[in-house]
Amino acid sequence: MKFPTTLVQKHYHSPLGPIILVASEQALVGAWFDDQDHLPAELQGQSAWLNAPEHPVLRHASRQLKEYFEGQRKAFELPLDLGFGTAFQQSVWQALLKIPFGHTCCYADVACAIARPKAMRAVGAAVGRNPLSLIVPCHRVLGADGSLTGYAGGLERKTYLLQLEGGQNPQEALL
């Protein structure tokens, strides 16, 4: 994915470590843990984006993330721009947005939801490249047998998020 240099960023300090939030004028385009896999080139080394902590979209995203981590929010209500992926990736990311809080599914379910039932591996690759980690809930996708499978932010974070959404004490996930 190639992002324009006109975007702005803000660091949000979550219980799982820093999250880099990135926005255009109107929408959130990225939310990455600062050490996760598949960071865009613009975040490797010195960032190409200006720091803009007072940007309205970034402020709203920070507030909603705080509410989510405090257990007060089950759905994000933010303008999102998923247009920086391929058409296939965008279809997968749109399907992820439909997985309800506290629920999980497997890669085959996502493949069927986008009418590509044999594309499970491609779905897995698209899930891994999700630019809006956590907000587009890729952590809710599990292996066919219910096992925890890859998460670009790390399996400890995935476990924490699933426990947070399941009403269990997420602190136990980090022990």
Domains of the chain: 8-69 (3.30.160), 87-168 (1.10.10.10)
- Is-contact 97 136, C-beta < 8 A? yes
Q: How many CB atoms lie within 10 A of CB 146?
A: 9
> Residue type for 136, please?
V
pLDDT in tens, 31-59: 999 888 877 777 766 667 889 999 999 99
3-state secondary structure string, the chain? Answer: CCCCCCCEEEEEEECCEEEEEEECCCCEEEEEECCCCCCCHHHCCCCCCEECCCCHHHHHHHHHHHHHHCCCCCCCCCCECCCCCCHHHHHHHHHHCCCCCCCCEEHHHHHHHCCCCCCHHHHHHHHHCCCEECCECHHHEECCCCCCCCCCCCHHHHHHHHHHHCCCCHHHHHC
Task: In whole angstroms, give the CA distance from residue 15 to residue 13.
Answer: 7
pLDDT in tens, 141-160: 999 888 888 888 889 999 99
- Is-contact 139 151, C-beta < 8 A? yes
Mean pLDDT of 57-71: 97
Task: In whole angstroms, give the CA distance from residue 170 to residue 45.
Answer: 31
Q: What is the pLDDT of residue 174?
A: 36
Q: What is the pLDDT of residue 131?
A: 96
Percent residues over pLDDT 70 in the chain: 93
pLDDT in tens, 84-141: 999 999 999 999 999 999 999 999 999 999 999 999 999 999 999 999 989 999 999 9
For residue 41 the two structure tokens come to 């080139």
Q: What is the pLDDT of residue 24?
A: 96
User: pLDDT-derived band of residue 73, with 50, 70 and 90 as boundaries?
Assistant: very high
User: Of 39, 23, 46, which Cα lies nearest the Cα of 131?
Assistant: 39
> Residue type for 24, please?
S
Q: What is the pLDDT of residue 45?
A: 63
Is 106 assigned a catalytic role? no
Which member of 105, 106, 112, 138 is catalytic?
138
